[in-house]
């Protein structure tokens, strides 16, 4: 677990909720700047995997290593400080602030957002935020209150907020939840555009989205590793089909 290109290693992690193993000896590695998609039927343990990486849920066995250091038992804020950032299944934008302010606050180096709120930004910060606005396709919407955005736009804003933190590892849990096909395509483009600069772990179960993302896919089932491969390999895999159709 010390290869220079390795960013994250989840190593044999079990999460036991009073006898129920949401994760059961699960392992996964993510290289720097790479895109990884994790899929699996409802209840497979995908969100628990994210929760465990970010330190919200505790592994009862195994370990999580980020940039060569074990983070398994660190508090969430410390894991975030080290460069992991998570977007939740439901968008968590600040509705009474503009799109621009949401991004600026998310990008504050000092994470005590409320204290620093209202401070003017350095020019290089402004440039960075403008680039993110472009990446997430919200340049024209930058002065709109976040609460007035359409559902898809809120999701894109939240992806932008995760990007603004400069985290090396972005965890996106169902970024296309509630989106139609057009918005889903746009989200796939956007996420592909993050590659190189950030490693991204995307959790989803929408097959057409996964095809458009075109990253390496890991399939989970009942808290365990089932398969790993390209989208094409996963798509024609009989075990994967059985798991999906068997529910």
Binding site for Mg ion (CB under 5 A): 46-47
Q: Any contact of residue 90 with ligand ADP (CB under 6 A)?
A: no
Q: Are 90 and 177 in contact (CB under 8 A)?
A: yes
Position among 20, 112, 140, 143 found at the interface with ligand ADP (CB under 6 A):
20
Shortest Cβ distance from residue 114 to ligand ADP (Å)?
28
Chosen from ligand ADP, Mg ion, none, partner binding at 25 (C-beta under 5 to 8 Å by type): none
Give the C-alpha separation, 219 to 225, whole Å: 6
Q: Any contact of residue 17 with ligand ADP (CB under 6 A)?
A: yes
Give the C-alpha separation, 4 to 17, whole Å: 34
Q: Any contact of residue 59 with ligand ADP (CB under 6 A)?
A: no
Chosen from ligand ADP, Mg ion, none, partner binding at 20 (C-beta under 5 to 8 Å by type): ligand ADP
Stretch that binds ligand ADP, among 36-44, 92-100, 124-132, 141-149 (CB under 6 A): 36-44
Stretch that binds ligand ADP, among 40-48, 133-141, 147-155, 180-188 (CB under 6 A): 40-48
Chosen from ligand ADP, Mg ion, none, partner binding at 123 (C-beta under 5 to 8 Å by type): none
Q: What are phi and psi of 238, to 5 degrees?
A: -65, -35
Nearer to ligand ADP among residue 47 and residue 108 (C-beta): 47
Instruction: Give per-residue burial for 71-109: e unless 16+ CB within 10 Å, then b.
Output: bbebeeeebbeebbbbbbeebebbeebbbbbbbbbbbbe
Residue 115's Cβ-side half-sphere holds a number of Cα atoms within 13 Å equal to: 4
Shortest Cβ distance from residue 125 to Mg ion (Å)?
33
Give the C-alpha separation, 176 to 197, whole Å: 21
Task: Please give the size of the binding site for ligand ADP, defined by CB under 6 A.
Answer: 11
Give the C-alpha separation, 139 to 156, whole Å: 12
Residue ranges in the chain assigned as alpha helix (H):
46-54, 76-81, 99-106, 113-116, 123-135, 151-164, 181-192, 207-213, 231-235, 238-245
Q: Any contact of residue 55 with ligand ADP (CB under 6 A)?
A: no
Shortest Cβ distance from residue 87 to ligand ADP (Å)?
14
Nearer to ligand ADP among residue 158 and residue 174 (C-beta): 174
Sign of CA dihedral 3, 55, 244, 192: negative
Q: Are 192 and 34 in contact (CB under 8 A)?
A: no
Nearer to Mg ion among residue 47 and residue 224 (C-beta): 47
Q: Any contact of residue 22 with ligand ADP (CB under 6 A)?
A: yes
> Which residues contribute to the site for ligand ADP (CB under 6 A)?
17, 20, 22, 40, 42-48
């Amino acid at each position: 677990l010390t290869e220079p290109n390795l960013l994250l290693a989840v190593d044999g992690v079990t999460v036991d909720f009073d006898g129920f193993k949401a994760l059961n000896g699960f392992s996964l590695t993510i290289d720097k700047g790479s895109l990884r998609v994790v899929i699996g039927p409802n209840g497979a343990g995908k969100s628990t995997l994210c929760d465990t990486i970010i330190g919200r849920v505790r592994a009862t066995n195994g370990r999580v290593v980020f940039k060569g250091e074990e983070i398994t038992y660190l508090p969430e804020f410390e894991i975030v400080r080290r460069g992991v950032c998570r977007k939740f299944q439901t968008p968590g934008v600040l509705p009474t602030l503009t799109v621009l302010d949401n991004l600026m606050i998310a990008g504050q180096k000092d994470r005590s957002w409320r204290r620093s709120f209202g401070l003017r930004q350095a020019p290089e910060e402004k440039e960075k935020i403008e680039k993110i606005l472009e990446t997430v396709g919200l340049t024209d919407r930058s002065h709109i209150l976040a609460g007035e955005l359409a559902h898809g736009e809120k999701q894109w804003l939240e992806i932008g907020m995760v990007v603004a933190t400069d985290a090396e590892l972005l965890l996106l849990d169902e970024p296309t939840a509630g989106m139609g096909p057009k918005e889903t395509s746009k989200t796939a483009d956007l996420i592909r555009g993050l590659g190189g600069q950030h490693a991204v772990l995307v959790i989803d179960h929408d097959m057409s989205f996964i095809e458009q993302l075109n990253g390496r896919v890991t399939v989970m089932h009942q808290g365990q590793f089932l398969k790993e491969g390209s989208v094409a390999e996963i798509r024609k895999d009989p075990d994967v089909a059985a798991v999906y159709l068997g529910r």
